[in-house]
Structure 1
Amino acid sequence: MMNHMENGGNISSEDVQTLKRNETRSDQKIGGILRHFRKKNGVTQMELAAVAGITPQQIQKYEKGSDRIAVSRLMTLLDFLDINYEEFIKEMRNCN
């Protein structure tokens, strides 16, 4: 994909679609890793949801990647799961 500054600041609709696909893949990857750590720690979706003040259905959406999780909320959940940010990022890099 061409850097949008290289073509005068314009971005093509094809580039926008590629970016959106990449975002969706990232959301799915982040959710999958969150699920991995939740299960590894023996925590239910209900327990994790209670920590964040949200519904278990919202946790399910995050884990499926159908909803994007805010970084601040992710950090709250990782703190509860006793997972540091670096460990999460390392897992992201290892997950293809």
Structure 2
Amino acid sequence: MASTRTPRSGQLDAALGERIRRRRRELGLSQSALGGKLGITFQQVQKYENGTNRVSATMLVKLADALAMPVTDLLHEADPAAAAAAPDSQAAQLVAAFGRIRSPELRSAVLTLIAGLAAR
């Protein structure tokens, strides 16, 4: 009978969790540190990242604030089909990420890498 029940979390929950994890790691935060900013345990952060627990609207706003990104960015990337179908969105993400690189040497290296990949 368990197989006929609707699962608590789905593909969208897992995709949102992956985006939360990716951004947390970009910022160099541990699950405990993010949990501290949110007033929750690291276990709860882990459940959000794994897609085990759904993120409420209130927690989504808190997460976006703690991760220093707009809620729309968290939600937009939560739909993997939308990211794949929207190359302009990927370009915008690339430009935004590139803009956060402070080192001129790293920026140059990224440009060289991208130019090399584009030539293939």
Task: Normalising by structure 2, report the TM-score.
Answer: 0.57
Distance 1:28 1:47, change over 3 A: same
Paired position in structure 1 for 2:74: 88
Q: Any unmatched runs of 5+ in structure 2?
A: 86-120
Between the aligned residues of both structures, percent identity stands at: 29
Identify the structure with bigger relative contact order (alpha carbons < 8 Å, sequence gap 6+).
Answer: 1
Q: Decide which moves more: 46-55 or 81-90.
A: 81-90
2:67 partner amino acid:
L
Q: Give TM-score scaled by structure 1 length.
A: 0.70
Alpha-carbon RMSD across the aligned residues, in angstroms, is 2.2
2:19 counterpart (19, 30, 33): 33
Larger radius of gyration: 2
Q: When you count helix as a share of all residues, which structure comes out higher?
A: 2
Q: How many residue pairs end up in the alignment?
A: 78
Partner Cα separation in structure 1 for residue 68 and residue 57 of structure 2 = 16
Q: Distance between the aligned counterparts of 1:31 and 1:77, measured in 2? A: 11
List 4+ stretches of structure 1 deviating above 3 A. Answer: none
Q: Which runs of 5+ in 1 are unaligned?
A: 1-15
